[in-house]
Amino acid sequence: MRKVWSATLMALVLNSGTPAAHAAPKTHWIATWATAQELAPTVPDVPNVPPTVKRPNFRGSRGNARPEPPTDIHDKTIRMTARVGVGGHKIRIELSNAFGKKPVILGAVHIARKGEGSAIVVGTDRSLTFSGHQEIKIPPGVVATSDPVDLSLPASSNVAVSIYVRDSEGIPTTHALGLHTSYLAEGNETASDEMPASSTTTTSYMWLSGIDVLAPIDRFTIVALGDSITDGFKTTVDANHAWPTLLQDRLLSTAGSPKASVLNEGISGNQVLQDGAGVGALARFDRDVLSRPNVRWIVLLEGINDINIHGQIEGAEALRAGDLIAGYQQLIARAHMHNIKVMGATLTPEEGVWLAGPIGEATRQAVNEWIRSPGNFDAVVDFDKVLCTPGDAAKLRPDLDPGDHIHPNDAGNELMARQFVLADFKR
């Protein structure tokens, strides 16, 4: 009887939910790619601009302005390219109708390893389902997550996401500055090895907002939260030269460094405190940061648009350094509530920009002094120090200036990515 009771007691202990009964998980879901959703590109409404000041053209030719996404996509397939960070063998995607005014009906969604041009790697195509259904209707404001599928995905590889839009009305929920060529064709071409020769192209993402992988437990996600300088404005299309991607490359290729994906959640023209080109950082924080699985760090580079649009004037309504700092403090506090650390990035020089002036420059310098001060952020990366012209702290280095005096070129983005101390992300 004693042996029987001993065996029974041991069985109860082993099945009681104690740590001995449950091995630690070896994998978890992390976000390996994402983009921030926005409304159609807009020119900011800047108060008190003298009539002699010429506003820039934010729309125009490829590479020189934010592209305008197609409208009223109906009975068409769009194939989009995304360059993931951390790899894995199981994958799922997120589609968003965050800013749609009408439901969108997607008849089919596929994912595959990307080949050359519009082609996919043969044998890697996977049809995605949503709660078991191939077709999905996404109402306005709703996000849909696909069922996971098996797909071997190496780190730093390109995937093609193909969406057949059976019915849509109006401007889609989009990210205008996708920086990768997307292909748009008539009918359902989601399973095609290559898009038809008659396809048109755009560099915008439509409805696609995130990709997750099931990764080893030591992998995690970093969110780069920012504006056009983070978005990669003025970097080369299809070249992966935005600084978040280059930082990700360093993390994934450097021996001994933490292995993490870096999500580019920049929106060109975005502000911290107010809406404009996309809703402000404070308003989109939950959607673009907290909703992503296993985020451990944020790199925050944002505020120059707040200064230019609201802080280049004097008077009671003018934005001051303290206003922007208070916004940073809110973002830091909210991140810390979720055990996410925040790295502050200094605001970069912009002398020569149509809106820049001495009032805003004084605010930028005051904000940067606060960012650099110990104890305000969990870590700091000093972009301003390496991008400014020696002897002229307000001016972007000429060799890094593509001509607009504010957005670093490809070489400038490479220099920014090299400023990170990778060991900081081990904290």
Q: What is the CATH number of the domain that holds 375?
A: 3.40.50.1110
Q: State which amino acid sits at residue 189.
A: E
* 386, pLDDT greater than 70: yes
- Among 49-53, 396-400, 417-421, name the one with the lowest average pLDDT: 49-53
Do 359 and 273 lie in a common domain? yes
Radius of gyration of the chain (CA): 23
Percent of the chain at pLDDT exceeding 90? 81
Do 86 and 115 lie in a common domain? yes
Do 367 and 410 lie in a common domain? yes
Do 359 and 393 lie in a common domain? yes
| Residue 66 pLDDT level (bands cut at 50, 70, 90) | low
Q: Is residue 66 part of a domain?
A: no
3-state secondary structure 55-81: CCCCCCCCCCCCCCCCCCCCCEEEEEE
Backbone conformation region of residue 118, classed left if phi is above 0, alpha if psi is from -120 to 50, else beta:
alpha
Domain count, the chain: 2
- The mean per-residue pLDDT over the stretch 128-149 comes to 97
Rounded to whole angstroms, how far apart are CA atoms 410 and 416?
10
Rounded to whole angstroms, how far apart are CA atoms 41 and 141?
19
| Greater model confidence, 277 or 207 | 207
* 5, pLDDT greater than 80: no
| Greater model confidence, 47 or 154 | 154
- Mean per-residue pLDDT over the chain, rounded: 90
Q: Pick from 214, 235, 270: which residue ends a domain?
A: 214
- DSSP structure class, residue 375: T
Do 136 and 249 lie in a common domain? no
The residue to which tokens 């070249």 are assigned:
239
Q: Is residue 160 part of a domain?
A: yes
| Residue 317 pLDDT level (bands cut at 50, 70, 90) | confident
* 47, pLDDT greater than 80: no
Do 295 and 386 lie in a common domain? yes
* 22, pLDDT greater than 50: yes
Q: Is residue 305 part of a domain?
A: yes
Q: Pick from 163, 188, 214: which residue ends a domain?
A: 214
Rounded to whole angstroms, how far apart are CA atoms 189 and 281?
36
- Identify the sign of the CA torsion 26, 28, 30, 32: positive
- The mean per-residue pLDDT over the stretch 192-218 comes to 96
Closest CA to 264 of 293, 229, 239: 229
Range of the domain at 227: 218-427
| Residue 408 pLDDT level (bands cut at 50, 70, 90) | very high
| Residue 364 pLDDT level (bands cut at 50, 70, 90) | very high
Residue 17 has a pLDDT of 52
Do 132 and 200 lie in a common domain? yes
- Among 17-21, 216-220, 240-244, 356-360, name the one with the lowest average pLDDT: 17-21
| Residue 72 pLDDT level (bands cut at 50, 70, 90) | confident
Q: Around Cβ 340, how many Cβ atoms within 10 Å?
A: 20
Do 87 and 189 lie in a common domain? yes
Rounded to whole angstroms, how far apart are CA atoms 317 and 109?
48
Do 201 and 257 lie in a common domain? no
Residue 38 has a pLDDT of 86
| Residue 162 pLDDT level (bands cut at 50, 70, 90) | very high
Do 207 and 222 lie in a common domain? no
- Among 103-117, 231-245, 269-283, name the one with the lowest average pLDDT: 269-283
Residue 62 has a pLDDT of 37
